[in-house]
Amino acid sequence: MRLGAGIFIGASILAASSAATLPASPQTGELVTFDSGNLEAVAFFDGSQAVQKNAATENDQQAPPLFGMETEPVAGELAAKWRAVEADIDGEQQVLEGCRAQKACPVVAQNLLNIVAEGAGRSGVARVGLINRAVDLAISPISDEAQWGVVDHWSSPFETLQTHRGDCEDYAIVKYVALLQAGLSHNDVKIVILRNLLPKEDHAVVAARVDGQWLILDNRRLALVRDTKMVGSTPKFVLDEDGTRRFVLSNRAGQGPSAGPIEHWP
């Protein structure tokens, strides 16, 4: 997946301001912001009241579907890419288990565990936000063409953390695995492929459900945004342990995926 123009992440964001938010002026309740001078104060603001970090399990179960949309299974190029990455993730999981068992631990595996450790002892938005920031700081943006000489290359977490470079789906894959390693449920973490309108391109992000709300983790922004507050993007596909699914309007659910190849990233 090619990178869009104007990516800015990590240290450049933090240096610009001690409190990072979306470029646009947000409405109250839209963002989770991170103050680099006070990480203990991470919270999601909705009006005048902060949402509690530790919501009851039933709240997650009653949460609306991601983007309020139904999904249906889809096959094709994207599904094949995701299956290949899942196979790599399964293999790397065994290495991580060895590290935790005090066996030989490759440096790249320890790098991933260090990212996971950023959320240690935290829960809710604090855990998600700190891991999101750690991944953004660990990777420098680069296109697949520049790094691999091909239009589209999906890396496993170890491969990305070996080079410390990647494009949007590489950030998303590392975040997906790190959040699962940190204890989030498989039901609460997904990779989402969006279609950005300006510039017109496909873009990968992570969706994490916290306190009954889906939050979007985007390597182009330090702030987290509710799925229902996303503007300028259309959700296309969701990737998780259940495979690859296409977002559809509720009245289309059950009709089956439409035929045709998956679009190449622009």
Structure tokens at 127: 């855990």
Does 124 fall in a domain? yes
Residue 121 lies in a domain: yes
DSSP H or E segment with residue 194? strand 189-196
The pairs formed by 251-259 with CB atoms below 8 angstroms and a separation of 24 or more are: 252/70, 252/72, 253/70, 253/71, 253/72, 254/72, 255/72, 256/72, 257/72, 257/73, 257/74, 257/75
Flag whether 15 is in a domain: yes
pLDDT confidence of residue 199: 86
Do 224 and 46 meet the contact criterion of CB atoms below 8 Å apart?
Answer: no
- pLDDT at site 249: 79
Which residue type is seen at 102? Q
Domain-embedded: residue 84: yes
What is the chain's percent helix, strand, coil content, to nearest 5?
40, 25, 40
At 188, give phi and psi (nearest 5°): -105, 5
- The identity of residue 68, as a single letter, is G
| 126 lies in some domain | yes
pTM of the model: 0.76
d(CA 43, CA 209): 14
Q: Token match 């991944």: residue?
A: 135
Q: What is the pLDDT of residue 147?
A: 97
- Residue 259, domain member (yes or no): no
Query: Is residue 262 included in any domain, yes or no?
Result: no
Answer yes or no: is 71 within a domain.
yes
Q: What is the pLDDT of residue 222?
A: 86
Residue 243 is predicted with a pLDDT of 97
Q: Is 237 helix (H, G, I), strand (E, B) or coil?
A: strand
- Contact (Cβ atoms closer than 8 angstroms) between residue 207 and residue 192: yes
Alpha-carbon distance 176 to 251, whole Å?
30
Residue 184 CA to residue 27 CA, distance in Å, equals 28
**Residue 19, domain extent:** 10-252
Identify the pLDDT of residue 23.
Answer: 33
CATH code where residue 89 lies = 3.10.620.30
Residue 61: predicted pLDDT:
56
| Structural domains counted in the chain | 1
Per-residue pLDDT of the chain (266 residues; tens, 9 = 90+): 654 433 333 333 333 333 333 333 333 345 554 443 333 333 333 332 333 334 435 445 567 899 999 999 999 999 999 999 999 999 999 999 999 999 999 999 999 999 999 999 999 999 999 999 999 999 999 999 999 999 999 999 999 999 999 999 999 999 999 999 999 999 999 999 999 998 899 999 999 999 999 999 999 998 999 999 988 999 999 999 999 999 997 664 444 444 234 444 43
